[in-house]
Structure 1
Amino acid sequence: MPELNTSAPMSGRVKKLRYLALFSHITLIVWMLIWYFLLPITADYSIVFKLLLFIVPLLLPLPGILQGKPYTHAWASFIVLLYFLHSITVLYAEPSQMLYATIELVLAIAMFVGCSGFARLRGQELGTGLPKLKTVMEAEKNLYEGKHHEQKNSNE
């Protein structure tokens, strides 16, 4: 695998998305700690359950987020969808915790936008973005047609 040029300059837009991802990620961790460990809620979950379900998933990508790694931001976008779903579920099922769930929802959306936007744009800046589908399809077509013609010519 080629070495990435992580020292490539970062545009202002990419920096803003990085800071959005970083701020919302750290704030979401703090918010979930406050919500499930300091605020009075009626659900009696064990401390281990609350840590494993609400805190640990956010801690997994934290080192890569702090370092500004596009790949980590990309998979953190998938992790934050759990918090998006959790907040929507609480909004629907627990009207008494609507404010708490709304805060979680806003932070989850901000983290998703920041992480996915940063991963995409920074990947493009570093030259690690995915090729366009049109290019991939054309390469596959050329590969297939090339093999097909070789087989046809060898059979004749």
Structure 2
Amino acid sequence: MQALARKTHLSRLITVGSYIALLALLTLWYLVVHPLEKGNSWIIWLLHVLPLAAFIPTVRSGNPRGHAWLCFLLLLYFNEAVLAATTHTETRTMGVIYGLLVAVLFTSAMMYARWASQYARLKHTTENTEESS
């Protein structure tokens, strides 16, 4: 049970760190490094950040089911990262970093959802057996 608690805690730390890093990367890319010429970069930035920002309460609370839903959303971001890495030479580096960051976030959120659910189930089972004896 201790090993499962450690794995859950570590995956949560990695999830929170990579989530914040992804939001920062998108902000830097769309508003600072590669803004649009027409000055509407903030609209593109909002389209990228708002779906992720919707999961701020989930990431803060540590809800395993919400982390699983975050993984579904991250599949769209991964597709965009692969396109950015393979289509234009000017976005190649950002696309690779973006893809790696999304892959780390996806994996850590998925493992957190799995381990946190297992830990909660195990903790609930342990508490029930202690109460019955």
2:33 is paired with a residue whose SS is coil
When residues 59 and 74 of structure 1 are mapped into structure 2, their CA distance, relative to the original with a 3 A threshold, is same
TM-score (norm 2): 0.81
Q: Show structure 1 runs of 5+ residues with no match.
A: 1-8, 129-156
Asked if structure 1 preserves the Cα contact closer than 8 Å seen for 2:68 and 2:109, the reply is yes
Q: CA deviation at 1:21?
A: 0.8
Bigger CA drift: 34-43 or 94-103?
34-43
Structure with greater proportional helix content:
2
Q: CA deviation at 1:41?
A: 5.0
Aligned residue in 2 for 1:152: none
Q: CA deviation at 1:44?
A: 5.1
- Which among 68, 77, 83 is matched to residue 74 of structure 1? 68
1:17 and 2:11 aligned: yes
Provide the aligned C-alpha RMSD in A.
2.2
- Which among 52, 55, 61 is matched to residue 49 of structure 2? 55
Q: CA deviation at 1:52?
A: 3.5
* Identical aligned residues as a percent: 22
For 1:66 and 1:44, the matched residues in 2 are separated by 36
Q: CA deviation at 1:111?
A: 0.5
Q: Show structure 2 runs of 5+ residues with no match.
A: 123-133
The structure with the largest alpha-carbon Rg is 1
For 1:111 and 1:19, the matched residues in 2 are separated by 10
When residues 45 and 121 of structure 1 are mapped into structure 2, their CA distance, relative to the original with a 3 A threshold, is farther
